[in-house]
Amino acid sequence: MIQAEELSKRYGRRPAVRGLSFAVAAGQICALLGPNGAGKTSTMRMLTGLSRPDAGAVRIAERPVSLGAPVLRRVGVLIDGPAFVPHLSGAANLRLLWRAAGREWPPPGLDDALDLAGLGAALGRRVRGYSMGMKQRLMLAQALMRQPDVLVLDEPATGLDPAEVRALRRHLAARAAAGATVLISSHQLAEVQLLASHLVVLNRGSLVAAGTLDDLLGGAGSLEDAYLALIEGSDRAAR
């Protein structure tokens, strides 16, 4: 469903992503891992057409991805944190982002998405007064309400409490079980270990490892141990 082929991106003289290739198939939940500055968000921007790769290509559902590409109708996105029109209500923001693509309200997965967001009466209040967690839940509702075939979620659990994180995990697992492709980035390795079926590990913009969770865990007791070993090995190799 998601294919990244030899992606490279530079910002000025600084390389953000170097020759990155990986694929995520339907039904998989893939976690994009790496230290800060590893190129996770840059990769996600290229996957959603928000950033043009200097080299390489992105395909989703066999269709090329570019800014505003039609295939993005099938993708739910949370990237670079939540963002809303502050003087409009939560509900008005959801309507606005849905209708922007010329679609009739309501979206097919609205009720489930709002259940997960759990905002209740706050949906009618201006987003300006929302807490960080409320904004994050509203943005997740925005991504999920389309019942997308593909989800690209950058740090989806940021600002969520433990119960909300568990509800999100169950929702994403159900979406994947129904055939959706899920790509998340996260620093919360314990949570990733509970959720992900596959991993892509980046460091300094390059691919360090990719495969199933079980394969990458190997003999390590936890994802944290396996991840830190991979990153340290990559750093040593770079030196």
Partner 1 sequence: MLRVELTTQLLRLRTLIALLALAAVPVLSGLSFASSAGHRNGTQGGLYGASPYSALNHDMASLEFIGPLLLPIVVALLATAIASADRDWGVLRYLYVAPVTRARLLAAKLAAAAVVTVAALGCVLAAGLGIGTIIFGWHPFHVIGAPDLGIGATIGKVLAATGYTLLCLLAMAAIALTLGLLLPRGAEALAVAVAFVVVASILNGQAVLHAVAVTLPVHYWQNWVGLFDPAGASGLGLGAAVQAGWIAGCVAACWVILRRRDPAA
Q: Which residues bind partner 1 (CB under 8 A)?
A: 11, 42, 45, 48-52, 67-70, 72-73, 75, 77, 79-81, 83-88, 92, 96-102, 142
* Rounded alpha-carbon distances, angstroms, from residue 149 to 3, 32, 110, 157, 207: 14, 18, 15, 20, 25
Tell me whether residue 72 or residue 216 sits nearer to partner 1 (CB atom).
72
Tell me whether residue 34 or residue 231 sits nearer to partner 1 (CB atom).
34
d(CA 234, CA 3): 24
Tell me whether residue 79 or residue 160 sits nearer to partner 1 (CB atom).
79
For residue 98, the minimal CB distance to partner 1 (Å) is 8
For residue 196, the minimal CB distance to partner 1 (Å) is 22
- Strand intervals (E) in the chain: 2-11, 14-24, 29-33, 55-60, 63-64, 75-78, 150-154, 181-185, 198-203, 206-212
Tell me whether residue 182 or residue 189 sits nearer to partner 1 (CB atom).
182
Q: Which of 239, 216, 238 is nearest to 228 (CA)?
A: 216
For residue 194, the minimal CB distance to partner 1 (Å) is 27
For residue 87, the minimal CB distance to partner 1 (Å) is 6
